[in-house]
Amino acid sequence: MTDNKIKKSINGLSVDVEDYFHVSNFEHMVSFDQWEEFELRVEKNTLRVLELFAKHKATATFFILGWVAERLPDLVKEISKQGHEVASHGYRHRLVYNLTPDEFKSDLLKTNDILSGLTGKKVLGFRAPSYSITDKNLWALDVLKECGFLYDSSIFPIHHHRYGIPDFPRYKTEVALKDGSSITEFPISTLRLGSKNFPIGGGAYARLLPWWFLKFGYNRINKVEQKPFVFYFHPWEIDANQPRMECSAFTRLRHYGGLSRFASKLDKMLSAFQFTSIKNL
């Protein structure tokens, strides 16, 4: 690590560990019962991600789907062994606002049992599938606390047809809970442009936007706002050869756009900025 890197802000790095057929964009085409029929590519892709992080001495939080952890226990152990944080992405990628509090709770506890059984460590953090904690279901934060979580990283402070709380704080914040306690929220990072928050914290945006623009945004967060940014991506986003699903042109752009260039973009990002896990933030 260079001195230059030490002086820089430390940002949050996160990976949502799921496969290409788990994503919400395809859930109307691929039912849970069909998951077993698909080729698992997440192991190979996650090992590539681990290599990339090791090259840059970057530590991250891996929000792992319980279903994936059950099938790839050695992968979960390897992530933990390499010093990364193992956290929860729920068991079967169900959108939290479509669940009852009891259904959410049992999904969380089932996943925690699998993950902590493999790592021997308590699961401290949660990321909702498709950022599905919005102002309609903030009760989810109370359930997380009840299940022993210390933090959540599911709220995207943007306008989106499926998720987002546009006026939510853009940085780490304590959210008051019904029992009088609180839970820490790490929102996904946005760039403030005029009166709007622009999503630059990961996903299709990070794949499709040019590197110079992303770098401008991250530098602005670190240097002007003097805050860390929280970045996320998925192992399937570096897999340009993944099987193609039949979908609309819009979904094609959102899921397949920029896949072939994303690994080299990540490499540039990991060279330019310093990262750690969300727990360490």
Give residues in contact with Zn ion (CB under 5 A): 16, 18, 129
Cβ-based nearer residue to Zn ion, 67 or 273: 67
Smallest distance, Å, CB 95 to Zn ion? 10
At 202, is the secondary structure helix, strand, or coil?
strand
| Percent helix / strand / coil, the chain, rounded to 5 | 45, 15, 40
Smallest distance, Å, CB 127 to Zn ion? 7
CB 52 within 8 A of CB 266: yes
Q: How far apart are CA 223 and CA 218, in angstroms?
A: 8
Smallest distance, Å, CB 207 to Zn ion? 15
Buried b (16+ CB within 10 A) or exposed e, 13-37: bbbbbbbbbbbebebeebeeeebee
Cβ-based nearer residue to Zn ion, 16 or 152: 16
Cβ-based nearer residue to Zn ion, 151 or 273: 151
Cβ-based nearer residue to Zn ion, 16 or 85: 16
Cβ-based nearer residue to Zn ion, 129 or 187: 129
Smallest distance, Å, CB 47 to Zn ion? 19
Widest CA span of the chain, in angstroms?
A: 51
Smallest distance, Å, CB 89 to Zn ion? 6
Smallest distance, Å, CB 239 to Zn ion? 15
Cβ-based nearer residue to Zn ion, 64 or 266: 64
* Residues with Cβ within 8 Å of residue 79, at least 6 apart in sequence: 17, 46, 50, 62, 64, 86
Sole residue written with tokens 């709380």: 165
* Residues with Cβ within 8 Å of residue 244, at least 6 apart in sequence: 256
